[in-house]
Amino acid sequence: MVTGKGGTGKTTVAAALALALAEEGKRTLLVEVEGRQGIAQLFETEALPYEERKIAVGPGGGEVYALAVDAEKALLDYLQMFYKLGGAGRALKRLGAIDFATTIAPGVRDVLLTGKVCEAVRRRTRAGGFVYDAVVMDAPPTGRITRFLGVNDQVAGLARVGPIHNQAQAVMRVLKSSETAVHLVTLLEEMPVQETVDGVAELRATGLPVGGVFVNMTRPAVLDRAAVRAAEESRTEIAKALSRAGLGGARRGGRAEQLIGPLLRQTHEHAERLALEGELRSEIAGLELPAYELELLAEGADLPGVYLLAGELREQLREQGVAR
């Protein structure tokens, strides 16, 4: 499960993770549940139907499948499965009943969406192995994740016996098992980190298994505060260096000398940001979770970019000894 504050890169990280986990001979499934066709957009394919489709081959050679779960269709399936509703299902749909049920109670949607994903997790081939070695979900944002994943507990409590109760319990067993990991994506900015810290606390309190923190869009550290202080004290030498590099005269009023002020101010901003990022990193470290870093891609996270991120992730997963 990949969650995080809105816009931090959940869809991107989920896709990169599904690619990274698709090692030679393995098969992963990338699932989205919010009806936004984010996967199709990222992989530059047409809109995904409610059906598993192969969309890519991972850098390790395995296959990546994708699925966009549609809550409305899932509800019809569900009704069919438990009640053999037949044509009445379509009639309910025409009346707006399905739409009603899936909007009125986010709970209904969530039961259906998590149910579908768990079905894919548990599905086996004829030979008895799992169909998918890993299922990666582009999950709802941090603010909703605990409710989203916890909904089956409530349902199991409401419907005390019968097929719905059993189904809800089975889903919860999968979600709370060590086979599941809820990963959080963050940026090195105040609000996303705060949301991550709060999210981890909430997940832990509910007994849901927290995975790792994915720090997205990191930038290289070039010069820190100490370097800025040193630079301020050696303006003359730096002006001379700039001049030697062909950027104009180092004397007062020379072009190289005039660059010093602006360049120093930019460097100061960079150093201040690094200092803030340092504080945020230690807050993340305080969570005592495995952490992964994904660099900021200059041209945004397009398809080649996602493969690049997948490659970085693959190495980091290996270093951290994550075999799955």
Residues 136-165 that bind other proteins (CB under 8 A): 155, 158-159, 164
**For ligand ATP, the closer CB: 7 or 49:** 7
Binds other proteins by CB under 8 A, chosen from 57, 81, 222, 303 = 222
* Residues 59 and 148: beta-carbon distance below 8 Å: no
Q: Are 267 and 231 in contact, with CB atoms under 8 Å apart?
A: yes
How many residues bind ligand ATP (CB under 6 A)? The answer is: 19
Handedness of CA 111, 112, 113, 115 (dihedral sign): positive
Q: Which one of 4-12, 72-80, 116-124, 271-279 is the stretch in contact with ligand ATP (CB under 6 A)? A: 4-12
- Is residue 304 near ligand ATP by the rule CB under 6 A? no
Q: How many beta carbons lie within 10 A of that of residue 165, not counting itself?
A: 16
CA 133/CA 21 separation, integer angstroms: 8
- Please state, as a whole number, how many other Cβ atoms lie within 10 Å of the Cβ of residue 11: 23
Cα–Cα distance measured from residue 48 to residue 260, given in angstroms and rounded to the nearest whole number = 53
- Residue 1, binding choice from other proteins, ligand ATP, Mg ion, none, Cβ under 5 to 8 Å by partner class: none
Could you tell me if 136 and 31 are in contact, meaning their C-beta atoms sit under 8 angstroms apart? yes
SS3 4: strand
Ranges within 292-321 binding other proteins (CB under 8 A): 298, 300
Q: What distance in Å separates the CA atoms of residue 121 and residue 205, rounded to the nearest whole number?
A: 24
**DSSP structure string for 245-303:** TTS---STTSHHHHHHHHHHHHHHHHHHHHHHHHHHHHHHHTT---EEEEEPPTT-S-H
Give yes or no for a contact between 266 and 273, defined as CB atoms under 8 angstroms apart.
no
In 3D space, the residue among 126, 92, 117, 123 whose CA is nearest the CA of residue 34 turns out to be 117
Select the residue interacting with other proteins from 57, 263, 285, 303 (CB under 8 A): 263
**Binding residues for ligand ATP restricted to 167-226, rule: CB under 6 A:** 190-191, 216-217
Among 28, 146, 267, 316, the residue binding other proteins under the rule CB under 8 A is 267
- Judged by CB under 6 A, the chain residues 240 through 269 that form the site for ligand ATP are none
Q: How far is the CB of 136 from ligand ATP (least distance, A)?
A: 13
Is residue 123 part of the contact set for other proteins (CB under 8 A)?
no
Task: Indicate which single residue of 4, 9, 38, 141 sits in contact with Mg ion (rule: CB under 5 A).
Answer: 38
Residue 296 binding ligand ATP, by CB under 6 A = yes
276 binds other proteins (CB under 8 A): yes
Instruction: Select from Mg ion, ligand ATP, other proteins, none the partner in contact with residue 79, using the beta carbon and a kind-dependent cut-off of 5 to 8 Å.
Output: other proteins
- Amino acid letter for position 184: L
- Binding window for Mg ion (CB under 5 A); candidates: 13-21, 38-46, 63-71, 120-128: 38-46
Q: Is 3 in the site for Mg ion (CB under 5 A)?
A: no
- Applying CB under 8 A, the residues found at the interface with other proteins are 5-7, 79, 82-83, 85, 88, 91-92, 94-97, 99-101, 103-108, 111, 155, 158-159, 164, 189-191, 194, 222-223, 227, 230-231, 233-234, 237-238, 240-242, 244-247, 259, 261-270, 272-273, 276, 298, 300
